[in-house]
Chains A and B, each alone.
Chain A
Amino acid sequence: MNHGKAQLEKRIVAGRGFGPEIVSEMWEYRELFWALAKRSVLVRYKQTVAGVLWALLRPLVTMVVMTVLFGGLMKMPSGGVPYPLLTFAGILPWMLFAQSLGGATNSLVAEGALIKKVYFPRLIVPLSACMTALIDFLIAGVVFAVMMALYGYAPTWRVAVAPLFVLMALLTALGPGLLLSPLNARYRDVQHLTPFIIQMGMFLSPVGYSSEAVVPDRWRLLYSLNPMTPVIEGFRWSVLGTGSLRMTSLLYASAFVLVFLLSGLWFFRRQESVLADVI
């Protein structure tokens, strides 16, 4: 049966490596990755009439609530930008982060049936959850673009950097997600903890307000321990042109992301082999 193809030899032993084969395996299974992401999106809107419109509802409603609450009632300073735009520009990356983190944490348990029956690099599962969050982000992003046009805000050259912040938001979620999802598979307490942490995080991040205008200087250092702070501010800066980029906090956030990503990947790989026994 060897039609002149190179004979691929695969060795299976106890103890999986943490090396470049991760990338080559992921490439080999890329179609499965897309199939799973596509499935999540398709399934969500089957048998609904509004379909994709539901993806827009949550960010829009959150934006309205925040505008009324922070801008209208509490009258937080917005630094010169219309409040709805400010909040929406904060909500977008935050929801990307929150959905990726939540989705990734639960992903292994959710795909338990598949994991127990078929082999594929398990890394695909949390990555696929992040992809679903990204797709939602893009859909809501279109609405945001429309809103910007309505308010007469044209994007400047800075918008070219926006994808970098999007990527950072994803990676900030992925690192901890890779740590939490195998933990969740073993100890289901985790999936009850994460929504709570995400909820708290939303208020501790400059989603509904601009942190420069609101956070007093003595709390500034503590506040910037939150890695999403520079990401959200950066996204806002690139899209709306408000605020400034603080390189130190960006560097800190990048370091945070890198540390968590590497440790998350290592931990995930170690746990990967026993997942089918534990879920």
Chain B
Amino acid sequence: MSKPVVEVFGLGKRYRIGRQRTIQDGLLRMVNNWLLHPVRNRRDRSAGTEEFWALRDVSFELQAGEVLGIIGANGAGKSTLLKVLSQITEPTEGEICLRGRLASLLEVGTGFHPELTGRENVYLNGAVLGMKKAEIDSKFDQIVEFSGVERFLDTPIKRYSSGMFVRLAFAVAAHLDPEIMIVDEVLAVGDERFRSKSMAKMRNAAKSGRTVLFVSHSMQSVKQLCSVAMLLEDGRCTEYGDVNEVVAAYQEGGQDEPLTPVVELPSGAPDALGRGLRLAFVTPSGQPQATFDAGQTWQIRLEFEMFRSLQRVIAGVGVTRTDGLPLVTYWSNPQDLSAGRYSVSFDVDAPLSPCEIRFVVGLSEHMHTFYYRESLGKVRLAEVKEAGRPTTSSEAGICLAPCRPEIQRA
């Protein structure tokens, strides 16, 4: 049995958080430490900085060809784990052993410079990602074809549309050929056609025997691509093993969730452009409820806050089944918004059969989602029993079929 390709033992990463220090603070602290504790350990820190363990005691092993899905809530430590594995930041404790070339995609277009042409940027980005020039030469045509920007290859990329930019950037990244690959699903952006091309490429990478670590918020993608999964909660690995079991454990966090007519939304990343505030489910007359009749029209009201003015902001609410299967997603019209609080109401008129549903909230601008939360709240769509009619149930299908034709003689 060959050695595992990725071995992680007791990995921990600690950050000190506190206000940004200037030279005066640094000097003062040094002098203070030196005068008051001349023989003490130099690592004595004065008050004013807190410690925060983004990762604690994480251990796992991956064999060649395994695809590991890393899931967890925002702030659970997924990005930190990726950064430590990619050597972008150093671990505070623990050890990692990698047997193979590793490439990580934490962002597309790293190193892209707006003044350079598409061609020049392909070479630059390739070099940044670790490809040798010979490798880029041999894959150049494939990269260009995948991106679809052949006509504009010799124009500076500052003239590209954001879609073209992203496609070119992803095309370079998609042709990396490392033994170990770390991917953040947020990368697969763009229009629908390009998205599916990208997901297909990622799927191929996973199936071609490469070892992949895949971070995603979508349980569907994780189940599709991964054989093994890991759940991170507050920096610790709480579940590891078969992908279906781990995903179920993650979602079960909400199984005992009661029905809620109003959901307070959690805050997002500290430097996010905005956050969701509240979701409310109301009847057409404005009454918040947690149960509606299947087939009845009701409304989802989303309140959110923008911290900055942004253009083309889109608010979206997704309705999913309790296991995460998306049923229908509603989006607002793109609008330019300044900082402040806003609300948007979506009419739910989709014919959904009786079941329990949960919600996903997303706020985005352009191609970039700056707030995203899954598995929120719970609402029941109740069966409407009508005398003389067959009962409807979600076992017959997700959708309601209101139409009941009469049978005619042929």
Contacts and interface: CB of A to CB of B under 8 A. Distances in A.
A274 B93 CA distance: 14
A218 interface: no
Given A12-B95, A14-B93, A187-B21, A119 B179 contact: no
B90 A14 contact: yes
B132 interface: yes
A160 interface: no
A277 B15 contact: yes
Contact of A42 (B64, B104, B116, B179): B116
Contacts of A120: 128, 130
B28 interface: no
Interface in A188-243: 189
Contacts of A246: none
A150 interface: no
Given A8-B99, A31-B133, A42-B116, A273 B127 contact: no
B145 to A, nearest CB: 23
Given A32-B127, A43-B113, A276-B83, A118 B22 contact: no
Contacts of B100: 1, 7-8
Contacts of B107: 117
Contact of A13 (B26, B91, B110, B128): B91
Interface string B75-100: 00000000111111111111111111
B98 A273 contact: no
Interface string B120-139: 10011001111011000000
A46 B111 contact: no
Contacts of A58: none
A248 to B, nearest CB: 36
Contacts of B132: 31
Interface in A1-54: 1, 7-16, 31-32, 34-36, 39, 42-43, 46-47
Given A187-B22, A276-B89, A277-B89, A118 B116 contact: no
Given A47-B115, A274-B89, A276-B89, A118 B123 contact: no
Contacts of B116: 39, 42-43, 46
A186 B20 CA distance: 9
A12 B91 contact: yes
Contacts of B96: 11-13
Contact of A7 (B23, B83, B89, B99): B99
Interface residues of A, number: 36
B98 A119 contact: no
Interface string A156-200: 000000000000000000000000000000110100000000000
B368 interface: no
A116 interface: yes
B28 to A, nearest CB: 13
Contacts of B86: 118-119
A189 B22 contact: yes
B26 to A, nearest CB: 7
A262 interface: no
B156 A276 contact: no
B101 interface: yes
A57 interface: no
B90 A9 contact: no
A113 interface: yes
Contacts of B110: 113-114, 117-118
Contacts of A39: 113, 116, 120, 124
A118 B129 contact: yes
B88 A10 contact: no
Nearest to B125: A35
B56 interface: no
B78 to A, nearest CB: 15
A46 B156 contact: yes
B209 interface: yes
A277 B97 CA distance: 22
Nearest to A113: B110
A42 B90 CA distance: 33
A34 to B, nearest CB: 8
Given A10-B102, A47-B156, 20 more contacts: A1-B64, A1-B179, A7-B99, A8-B100, A9-B97, A9-B99, A11-B97, A12-B91, A12-B96, A12-B98, A13-B94, A14-B92, A31-B127, A42-B116, A43-B115, A114-B110, A114-B128, A117-B107, A119-B104, A187-B23
26 contacts: A1-B179, A8-B99, A10-B97, A10-B102, A11-B95, A11-B96, A12-B91, A12-B96, A14-B91, A14-B92, A31-B133, A32-B128, A35-B124, A39-B116, A46-B156, A113-B110, A114-B128, A117-B110, A118-B86, A118-B129, A186-B26, A187-B21, A187-B26, A189-B22, A274-B89, A277-B15
Q: Which 4 A-B pairs have the closest CB atoms?
A: A273-B90, A35-B127, A12-B96, A119-B87
